[in-house]
Structure 1
Amino acid sequence: MGAVPDDPPPPREAPQMTRVLTGDRPTGPLHLGHYFGTLQNRVRLQDDGMDVLLVIPDYQVITDRDVAEDLLGHTHGLVLDYLAAGIDPARATVFTHSAVPALNQLLLPFLSLVSVAELGRNPTVKDEIAHSRQSAVSGLMFTYPVHQAADILFCKADVVPVGQDQVPHLELTRTIARRFNDRYGPVFPEPEALLSAAPLLLGTDGTKMSKSRSNSVPLSATADETAALIRRATTDADRRITYDPANRPGVSGLVQLAALCQDRDPHDVAADIGDGGAAALKRHVTDAVNTYLAPMRARRAEYAQDLSYVREVLHEGNKRANAIAEATLDEVRAAMGGFR
């Protein structure tokens, strides 16, 4: 597998270089929705020569949970999924929130740039509060968008891949950058959103695939586990398989999943199955998913045999992120008047 190189990615002054910041909370395994929605695109951005930083925001796990369960296991699992999908630690930086103190110190000055009313109006915060697992939400829920702004601005990211539901967070980040620059002088760029072109991938119950809804197909699932999950998927009584997302979400979600794995048009996939019914559809999808994931599963299994390598990836990524964060915090302190 090789060692993680000590040298950081090429300097961002290189003409072709754009810095990208994205990440995933360590609350469970990544699934096919994550892969086709964002992870596949991160690998493409990395391969296109962009400076990709992947934050594992472990501190943010307690945003909507009382405790962070199996935090280390989930963190290692994310790194394994990244590596299996093609993230290369020689060209991308993988790090955890809690290991970068200077990043988290940016939260205080950033909070001074937004009002309580602005945080309360954030539609993503409203939605997260409505779906919170807690009987009463903590102050961390309201400051969550500002913490995300610190994630993005600490490294002066130019581009942030987001789903449509995360656009309000990025707009607040842009507002914080603009207000800081207006008040203290130019330090931060205003990052741009990179909206995914990937269609919404439905879970086995016909709704959005999500870890919290227990309707996902994890990337780390075995071939047999994947087959069992797909067998339980929601379909309908019509034996003729068609791709009609508005009227047949369960069937169409499965057809779309096979089409993504086979790089085909979903209408063509549906036509191939024809009158085979739900059983034939599920067999087709299972074969498509297992064939597609087989190389990733093999790589993941290899990396999982050597967790010391996973720890090394995080160690080197944390070093790189700390160097970036400390330089940014020094700039912020100087701009604000010499804070130490």
Structure 2
Amino acid sequence: MNHTLQTAGPDILVPAPAADALGMSAARARSAELEEQVIKDPGRFRVLTGDRPTGRLHLGHYFGTLHNRVRLQNLGVEMFVIIADYQVLTDRDVADNLTGYVEELVLDYLAIGVDPARSTIFTHSAVPALNQLLLPFLSLVSTAELSRNPTVKDEIAHARQSSVSGLMFTYPAHQAADILFCKANLVPVGQDQLPHLELTRTIARRFNDRYGAGTAVFPEPGALLSQAPLLLGTDGTKMSKSRGNAITLAADADETARLIKGAKTDSERHITYDPAGRPEVSSLLLLAALCRNQTPQEVADGIGSAGAAALKRTVTEAVNEYLAPIRARRAQYAQDRASLRHILREGNDRAGAVAETTLAEVRVAMNNHY
């Protein structure tokens, strides 16, 4: 893609709290502009998105990011969907069954409507030219820039290990390689991922300045901020695969009913939507509303004073009805594991060809092609 999209940077010389507020406001404004441009001319955009293969995807993932990927794909945006298998090598429990986790992720993608004919699904480990970009990119950032990345700090803080590997430390630069190998100019992100994307933009800018000779080798990708609703897990905390409080896309109707039946609510019988005062009840209302294409208030009004049991029945029916076609497609794809591997091979070949072209450009720009 030749379109270089700019987003507002954080380099505003005002006190930190005001700078953060101004930076976030600018990022939201720019994201809104990008959304308008996507609607008008989706063919201008190439998106890089993806997941780490650490388990089956759940409803938080679906309404948070997956639904939007399918929307962008169907609009006509060119999609690259990475399964970041190299980025879970720090987790031995996952790494020991990585092939299985990767296949589960592909099943979830296909079930929700990611079309391998229109979206390139690929894995880190199968695209060596992508990973070769990591070395020149690391030469463009300081250790201080890597260490103060908030996502890295959070990963380090929550790592269940006595020490942190170099792979985890270089995660932001590796993510930059993920984005820039295909010259993605748009990346859907949550607010917490903006520092990652800003470092990617910095690496692209520094590479162009140092090696571009007046030509932009890499675009500076724009951030399409997620409007993802906040869905709590069944225990009232953040929905997470590792906490066992999430409803996966692969869960059957009975398991879904069991999980929702055990969901945390409160003692007040009249059901109201009050995210601040009644977060657990409100999250269940929001989930039902998303599945039924209603507002949470409309769902609450329909339940009234029937209590938590009626709320959970309503949510269970809404979720199972919504997920039924997704689960049916998933079960159908799961019957042919060879087809999954074929889809991955094709995606890996496609991504590999793009990465080789980009790496060749990088070598020419750096004057180290032989």
User: What TM-score, normalized by structure 2, do the two folds share?
Assistant: 0.87
The residue aligned with 2:88 is 61
Shift of 1:23: 0.3
The residue aligned with 2:207 is 180
Establish whether residue 255 from structure 1 lines up as the match of residue 260 from structure 2.
Answer: no
Establish whether residue 202 from structure 1 lines up as the match of residue 229 from structure 2.
Answer: no
Residues 76 and 211 (structure 1 numbering): CA distance in 2 closer, same or farther, change over 3 Å?
same
SS at match of 1:275: coil
2: distance between equivalents of 1:198 and 1:262? Answer: 16
Establish whether residue 169 from structure 1 lines up as the match of residue 169 from structure 2.
Answer: no
Shift of 1:207: 2.0
Runs of 4+ in 1 over 3 A off after TM superposition: 11-15, 63-67
Establish whether residue 312 from structure 1 lines up as the match of residue 347 from structure 2.
Answer: no
What is the CA deviation profile of residues 188-210 of structure 1, one whole-angstrom value per residue up to 9, with x for unaligned ones?
A: 00001111112112111122211
Establish whether residue 49 from structure 1 lines up as the match of residue 76 from structure 2.
Answer: yes
2: distance between equivalents of 1:311 and 1:17? Answer: 30
Shift of 1:145: 0.6
What is the CA deviation profile of residues 135-177 of structure 1, one whole-angstrom value per residue up to 9, with x for unaligned ones?
A: 2111111100100000000000011111111111000000000
1: distance between equivalents of 2:102 and 2:290? Answer: 27
Note if contact 2:176-2:199 (Cα within 8 Å) is conserved in structure 1.
yes
**Structure 2 spans left out of the alignment, 5+ residues:** 4-40
The residue aligned with 1:133 is 160
Establish whether residue 157 from structure 1 lines up as the match of residue 184 from structure 2.
Answer: yes
Q: 1:95 aligns with which of 122, 125, 137?
A: 122
Letter in 1 for 2:245: N
1: distance between equivalents of 2:93 and 2:135? Answer: 23
The residue aligned with 2:15 is none
1: distance between equivalents of 2:77 and 2:94? Answer: 35
What is the CA deviation profile of residues 200-234 of structure 1, one whole-angstrom value per residue up to 9, with x for unaligned ones?
A: 12111122211122211100000101111111111
The residue aligned with 1:145 is 172
What is the CA deviation profile of residues 103-127 of structure 1, one whole-angstrom value per residue up to 9, with x for unaligned ones?
A: 0000000000000011111111111
1: distance between equivalents of 2:85 and 2:271? Answer: 42
Note if contact 1:12-1:51 (Cα within 8 Å) is conserved in structure 2.
no
Letter in 2 for 1:23: G
Establish whether residue 241 from structure 1 lines up as the match of residue 268 from structure 2.
Answer: no
Shift of 1:292: 0.1
Letter in 2 for 1:142: F
SS at match of 1:16: helix
What is the CA deviation profile of residues 50-86 of structure 1, one whole-angstrom value per residue up to 9, with x for unaligned ones?
A: 1101000100012455761321111111111111101
1: distance between equivalents of 2:312 and 2:155? Answer: 33
Letter in 2 for 1:277: G
Shift of 1:320: 0.2
Higher alpha-carbon deviation: 89-98 or 199-208: 199-208
Q: 2:321 aligns with which of 262, 269, 291?
A: 291
Aligned residues, how many?
330
Q: 1:189 aligns with which of 205, 215, 219?
A: 219
Identical columns (%): 72
SS at match of 2:270: coil
2: distance between equivalents of 1:201 and 1:115? Answer: 36
The residue aligned with 1:7 is none
Where do residues 78-117 of structure 1 align in structure 2 (5 Å cutoff)? 78-117=105-144
1: distance between equivalents of 2:93 and 2:165? Answer: 10
2: distance between equivalents of 1:33 and 1:161? Answer: 16
SS at match of 1:264: coil
Residues 129 and 217 (structure 1 numbering): CA distance in 2 closer, same or farther, change over 3 Å?
same
Note if contact 1:235-1:278 (Cα within 8 Å) is conserved in structure 2.
yes
Residues 67 and 223 (structure 1 numbering): CA distance in 2 closer, same or farther, change over 3 Å?
closer
2: distance between equivalents of 1:330 and 1:154? Answer: 11
The residue aligned with 1:6 is none
The residue aligned with 2:304 is 274
SS at match of 1:137: coil
2: distance between equivalents of 1:137 and 1:65? Answer: 13
SS at match of 1:180: helix
Letter in 2 for 1:184: Y
Shift of 1:247: 1.2
The residue aligned with 1:73 is 100
**Structure 1 spans left out of the alignment, 5+ residues:** 1-10
The residue aligned with 2:151 is 124
The residue aligned with 1:8 is none
1: distance between equivalents of 2:160 and 2:172? Answer: 18
